[in-house]
Amino acid sequence: MHRRTVALVCALGTVLAGGCAVRAGQEEGAVRRDRPVSGAPAAEPLLRQSADEIARTAASLRQVDDLPLYEMTYRGSYDPEAPLTNAELARKDSGWACSLFLRGGEFGRNFDWDPNPAMMIRSDPPDAYASLAMADVSYILDHGGAPDLAADRRRLAHAVLTPFDGVNEKGLAVGLASVPAADLPKPTPERPAISSLRIIRLMLDRAATVEEAVEIMRARTVDFTGGPQVHYLIADRSGASAVAEYANDRLNIVRDRILTNITMAGTDRDTRLADTRYRTLDQGLGTKADALDLLRSVAQGHTRWSVVYDLAKGSARVVTAKRWQRVHTFTLTSPRLTSPKLPTPTPTLSSPG
């Protein structure tokens, strides 16, 4: 297994970072998970829930498969921009290589990383769009391994703030992947800093179109302090798509429908096609292959989940750990398990991420 690893540091004043990255010049290495510095919880908790909403959120938590993959329906509201610290997570109840694409009304994504537990989160806050989103929940736990669904349920509720990809009720989808480090703009009072995961939550909550999502990004500066730099594929129900990527001290918007781990800003089509996974997806998008089979064609040895979001239906098909004949289907209201017949498997590529 050619696993790409990267150091992730979460400092006080920033929320948990996330992305798909390879540390320059390193084939393999140890993951460093420096947790946010502990401190006094904010006077106002990030999760704004009544006792009934806490109970309903906890009651919705269940294990879906043995990845392990979980699902949860979050009830209530939350602060989408405040920092997420260990102190907040401890409140009591009272390398990576990712591939993404848009084809028609389907948004596909492989998330490749360590064998960590994952969760599909439903969210329908009173002041934002409803959404489905996937998260690696290891970043909100204070221990290794699978969560204890009783002891960790309050921490797990915070997964609503750390989406790695998702779709909302308006058909806006977004996912991230690593990109080689480049010069970043500095935060300003007009463009406050926000983490690479929390910006996804803002887009899912507040954007119905690619252009609205881009405006949300332009109004903030994504902070990659101590962690991987990432870029984003954003798509909407109209068929519009764009890559949002920082380089040369500014946010660049590149019109494309495929994203891997190569720099997009300033590159031409031939340069992008030189990337094996980009080229494979580019060729596959013109076929009638099932979207999950396209993801299978670029899956890596450490692919943790593969998801296809239907932008019209607001639903998601999820495969964990490349078990392609076991497909979990989630909607904004309820999940079900299916086992569709997929096309003949395409050989898995061994290209590095």
Cα 235–241–243 angle (5° rounding)?
100
243 pLDDT band (50/70/90 cuts)? very high
The answer to whether 8 and 21 are in contact (CB under 8 A) is: no
Query: Does residue 94 surpass a pLDDT of 80?
Result: no
C-alpha 92/C-alpha 72 separation (Å) is 18
pLDDT tens-place string over residues 265-321: 999 999 999 999 999 999 999 999 999 999 999 999 989 999 999 999 999 999 999
Residue with more model confidence, 140 or 97: 140
* Residue 2 counted as domain residue: no
The answer to whether 317 and 326 are in contact (CB under 8 A) is: no
* Residue 350 counted as domain residue: no
The proportion of the chain whose per-residue pLDDT surpasses 90, expressed as a percent, equals 64
pLDDT at 158: 96
* Residue 231 counted as domain residue: yes
pLDDT at 337: 56
The two structure tokens encoding residue 297? 């064609």
pTM: 0.82
C-alpha 259/C-alpha 257 separation (Å) is 7
Query: Does residue 15 surpass a pLDDT of 70?
Result: no
C-alpha 283/C-alpha 258 separation (Å) is 11
C-alpha 136/C-alpha 164 separation (Å) is 7
Query: Does residue 14 surpass a pLDDT of 50?
Result: no
Query: Does residue 349 surpass a pLDDT of 80?
Result: no
* Residue 351 counted as domain residue: no
* Residue 344 counted as domain residue: no
* Residue 90 counted as domain residue: yes
* Residue 3 counted as domain residue: no
pLDDT at 78: 95
**Residue 164, domain extent:** 8-338
We report the CATH number of the domain holding residue 117 as 3.60.60.10
pLDDT at 85: 86
The count of domains in the chain is 1
List beta partners, residue 34. Answer: 9
pLDDT at 341: 43
Averaged over 171-180, what is the pLDDT? 95
Mean pLDDT of all residues belonging to the chain: 83
Q: Name residues whose C-beta falls within 8 Å of residue 166's C-beta, 6 or more positions apart in sequence.
A: 131, 132, 133, 134, 173, 174, 175, 200, 204, 309
Residue with more model confidence, 328 or 14: 328
Residue with more model confidence, 225 or 60: 60
* Residue 52 counted as domain residue: yes
